[in-house]
Structure 1
Amino acid sequence: MNKPLEPAKQTEIRLIYLLPNLLTVAAICAGLTAVRFGYEGNFEMAVQLVLAASILDGLDGRLARLMNRSTAVGAELDSLADFLNFGVAPVLILHSWALNEVSRAGWIAVLFYAICCVLRLARFNVSSRLQTDKPSSDFFVGVPSPAGAILVMLPMVISFAVTDLPATPPIFIAFYTCLIGLLMISRMPTYSFKDMTIHRANAKYFLLGTAILAAALLTYLWATLALLTFAYISCLVWAHRTYRKSKTTEG
C-alpha cells in the first residue's frame, strides 16, 4: 500500500535576501529596454540604460557578498544578465546607430563581439570556480565585459559629447567593435579595482573626488564619460606595463 505523500515543508525567506537577485533582474530589464530605445532611434537613452545596467551589475554581487547570500542561482543569473547587457545590447544599439549602413560587415561585427563576450564570460566563470581557494589577483585576464560594453560604445559617446564632429565611417566602427571583442578574449592583464585600498587619511579626498565626479556626470554626462573611458584605456596600457615588470622581477 502506498504511503500518503507528506506535505512539502514550507520555508520562508526574508524579502531583503532577494534584493541582489532583484537588482540583477532590474539590470536585465534595463538592457532589454536599451535595445528597444536603440531601434526607436533614442540612442542617448539607450546608452544611459546600458550604463545603468553596468551600475546594477556592480552592486548586485557586492550586496550578495555583504549579506552573505551568494547562491548558485544568483551567480548563473548574473552571468546571463552580463551576456545580455554587455554582449548583446551594446552592439545591437551600435547596429541600429551605424552598423546597419554596412549591413553584412556590420552584422559580422555584431556576431563577432557577442561571441567574444560569451567566451570571455565562460572563461571567467570557469576560472572563478577553479580558483576559489586562491587569493584574488590584482589583475583580470582580458577586458571585463562591462568595460568592453562601455569601450565599444565610445564612438557614440564622443558623437553625443561633440555634436559637430563629422560622422564616423561605419566600416571603421565595425573594425573597432571587433577589436574590443578581441580585447575581451585576449590574455591582456587589466586592473581589478575591487580590492583597491586607500590610506585612511585620504578617505576625505576620495569622497570629495567622488562627489565632484558625480556632479560632472550629472551635468556633462557625455564629455565626462568620454574622458573616463580614455582614462580606462590609459589604465589598460599601464596595467600591461606593470604586469610585465612584475613578471620580470619574479623571473
Structure 2
Amino acid sequence: MRPPSLRRRTPRGLPLRAVAPNVVTALALCAGLTGIRYAISADWEAAVTMIMIAGVLDGLDGTVARLVRGESRFGAELDSLSDAISFGVSPALILYLWSLKEAPRLGWACALVFAVFCALRLARFNAAIDVGAQPHKSAGFLTGVPAPLGAGLAMLPLYLTFWTGEPLFRNPAVVLPWVAIIALLMISSVATFSWSSLRLRNHIRFEALAVVVLLGAALISAPWHTLTALCVVYLAMLPFSITSYRRVRRLREAAQPGVPPSPDASSAPGHADR
C-alpha cells in the first residue's frame, strides 16, 4: 500500500482555463448592463457603444474557450443568459428610453417583444444543441439573425440619428415597426450566412487582412457611418443567403432523395450562432 504522501489526489475546484472564458462572458454582461445605465442618463452614444463592446466580448469568449480548451456546459448557459440581457433586454430598454416611450403602450409592447423574441431565439439555440440533424447548420448557414447582430440592426435608427441629426429617425412611427421586423427576423427560419463557416482561399488572405484593417480604421474614425453601412450590407445579403441555401438544399435532395442531411464536423454550434 502506497504511503499517504504518494497517493494520487483528486483535483478540486475548477481549472483556470475553464474560468477565463467565463470572465469574458461576465464582462460582456457588465457592458450590456452598463448600456442601460447610460441610457437612463440620456448618454445615447455611450449606451450604444456599450452594446457594441458587449458584442465584441461575446465573439471573444468562444474563441478564448476553444484556445484554452475551457468549454463547459456552465459556460454555455452563462453565455446564453448574458446574450439575453446584453442583446435583448438592454437594446430594448435603450430604444424604449430613446424613442418608444413617446408611444407608451405600443412602444413598451414592442420593446417587450424584442427582448422576449431574443430570449426565444437563444432558447431555440440551446434546445437544438443536441439535435442530430440541423439542415441550416450542416449546410453552413444559420437559422434567423443571431442575437448580437439583431441588437446591432435594431439600433440602426440610433446610428442614423447620430450622424445625420435628422429627428425623423427618432420618431416612434419609424422605430417601432423597424424593431418589430428585426425581432421577427431573429426568431424566423430564414437562412443567413454563418461567418464561422466561411473559409478564405490562400491567395486572398492578405486582401482579407487589409479589409479588416480598413474596417477597424473606419469604425474608429467614423463609427456611426460605418455601423450604418454594415447594417445595410448585411440586410442586402439576406436575399443571397436565402437563395444560396435553397440551391444547396436542392442539390442535396437531388443527390440523396428522401435522406435528410447529416451534420458534418464543422456544424457544431458555436457562440457566434446565437
The normalised TM-score by structure 1 is 0.91
Unaligned runs of 5+ in 2: 1-8, 254-274
- Measure the CA separation in 2 of the matches of 1:191 and 1:223: 23
Partner of 2:228: 226
CA shift for structure 1 position 13? 4.9
Partner of 2:43: 42
| 1:169 aligns to 2:138 (yes or no) | no
- Answer yes or no: is the 8 Å Cα contact 1:24–1:81 preserved in 2: yes
Partner of 2:270: none
- Answer yes or no: is the 8 Å Cα contact 1:106–1:171 preserved in 2: no
Partner of 1:212: 214
CA shift for structure 1 position 214? 0.5
CA shift for structure 1 position 208? 1.1
| 1:127 aligns to 2:125 (yes or no) | no
Partner of 1:67: 68
CA shift for structure 1 position 114? 1.1
Across the aligned residues of Structure 1 and Structure 2, the Cα RMSD in angstroms comes to 2.0
Which of 153, 156, 169 is 2:155 aligned to? 153
- Measure the CA separation in 2 of the matches of 1:9 and 1:245: 53
Partner of 1:3: none
CA shift for structure 1 position 206? 1.0
CA shift for structure 1 position 249? 3.4
Partner secondary structure for residue 79 of structure 1:
helix
Q: Pick which of 128-137 and 44-53 moved more.
A: 128-137
Q: Pick which of 54-63 and 75-84 moved more.
A: 54-63
- Measure the CA separation in 1 of the matches of 2:233 and 2:191: 16
- Answer yes or no: is the 8 Å Cα contact 1:37–1:43 preserved in 2: yes
- Measure the CA separation in 2 of the matches of 1:207 and 1:128: 32
RCO comparison, higher one (Cα < 8 Å, 6+): 2
The CA deviation string for residues 34-53 of structure 1, in whole angstroms up to 9 with x for no partner, is 00101110010100100100
- Measure the CA separation in 1 of the matches of 2:143 and 2:225: 29
CA shift for structure 1 position 19? 1.5
Q: What pairs with 1:175-186 in structure 2 (closer than 5 Å)?
A: 175-186=177-188
CA shift for structure 1 position 204? 1.1
The CA deviation string for residues 69-103 of structure 1, in whole angstroms up to 9 with x for no partner, is 10111010000000001111001000010000000
CA shift for structure 1 position 168? 3.7
- Measure the CA separation in 1 of the matches of 2:238 and 2:171: 26
Residue identity opposite 1:209 in structure 2: V
- Measure the CA separation in 2 of the matches of 1:193 and 1:167: 30
Q: Pick which of 120-129 and 28-37 moved more.
A: 120-129
- Answer yes or no: is the 8 Å Cα contact 1:137–1:192 preserved in 2: no
The normalised TM-score by structure 2 is 0.83
The CA deviation string for residues 178-217 of structure 1, in whole angstroms up to 9 with x for no partner, is 1111111111001111121111221111111111110010
- Measure the CA separation in 2 of the matches of 1:51 and 1:142: 20
Aligned pair count reads: 244
CA shift for structure 1 position 12? 5.3
CA shift for structure 1 position 246? 2.3
CA shift for structure 1 position 162? 1.4
Go from structure 1 to structure 2 and tell me whether the alpha carbon gap of 1:164 and 1:183 turns closer, same or farther (over 3 Å shift): closer
- Measure the CA separation in 2 of the matches of 1:231 and 1:118: 25
Residue identity opposite 1:193 in structure 2: W
Unaligned runs of 5+ in 1: 1-7
Go from structure 1 to structure 2 and tell me whether the alpha carbon gap of 1:16 and 1:245 turns closer, same or farther (over 3 Å shift): closer
